[in-house]
Amino acid sequence: MKHYLGWLYFLSSLAQADPVRLASLDWPPYTGEGLPGQGETTVVLRQVFTSMQLEVQTEFLPWSRAIRASEKAGGLYVGYFPEYYTYNPDFILSDSLGISELGFVEATAKPLGELSFSLLPLLQLGVVQDYINLAGVDQMIARGQLTPQVAISDRLNVLKVALGRLDLAVIDRRVLLYLLEYDTEIKRLASGKVQFNSSLTELKTLHLALRREPAHQQLIEKFNQHLQKVKSVSAAIPPTSD
């Protein structure tokens, strides 16, 4: 009963206060201010909050800033998304909002073939600042076995690979495909010059991360309940035929 009353109080306080404010990043097709519905993951998240009768507002920031801004107690943002599954004592993760296939972008002129973690130290590898990589890559970086070049975005790494400044870079498969189709500079400089190497990939789940506070724990629990309902409805809708 106390838990239920606490949740009612929390809902009442939200109704009288500002909307739930979250930080995110431009990471198409999953999230992005200029994307339809602000991206696929944002659409799912908004559907869940709407079913909870809560309004949500998202601001799109550089990734490192989005995380830092969400860490501050009493700050503008209660959390951020989408985060890969990881343990962070400062945040609570929701159930999965979707899937990301993580692998590598390579040059078509110098395909690397079958990749292995033992091969990576022999190559010029690129990663994005503060992104989670394949687990094996992050473990090797932590042990000092890899010293990758760090960029501020996926698109910069794609350009570096296309221009021969990197042998490969960690990237989500669909992010690469989106950039090659819709990013003007990437199309001009990298089209036909880069490809996804699918020999060493890892599936990552995408989550909403809320700052670890008692009220946010309750919010995540309710969010997860409504998320499952939204997924069930989506799964019941047959795909449209062209």
- Six-digit token string for 152: 């501020």
Which pLDDT belongs to residue 242? 46
Q: How far apart are CA 175 and CA 184, in angstroms?
A: 14
185: enclosing H helix or E strand? helix 184-190
- The rounded Cα 108 to chain-centroid distance in angstroms is 26
Which pLDDT belongs to residue 72? 86
When the candidates are 1.10.3720.10, 3.40.190.10, 3.30.413.10, 3.40.1390.30, the CATH number that belongs to 2-99+205-236 is 3.40.190.10
Which pLDDT belongs to residue 131? 97
Query: Tens digit of pLDDT per residue, the chain (242 long)?
Result: 555 555 555 555 544 446 999 999 999 999 999 999 999 999 999 999 999 999 999 999 999 999 999 998 888 999 999 999 998 999 999 999 999 999 999 999 999 999 999 999 999 999 999 999 999 999 999 999 999 999 999 999 999 999 999 999 999 999 999 999 999 999 999 999 999 999 999 999 999 999 999 999 999 999 999 999 998 876 656 655 54
CATH 3.40.190.10 fits 101-202, yes or no: yes
Q: Let me know if the fold of 2-99+205-236 is the same as that of 101-202.
A: yes
Which pLDDT belongs to residue 11? 55
Please check whether residue 61 is in contact with residue 69, taking contact to mean a CB–CB distance below 8 angstroms: yes
pTM for this predicted structure: 0.88
Domain boundaries, the chain: 2-99+205-236, 101-202
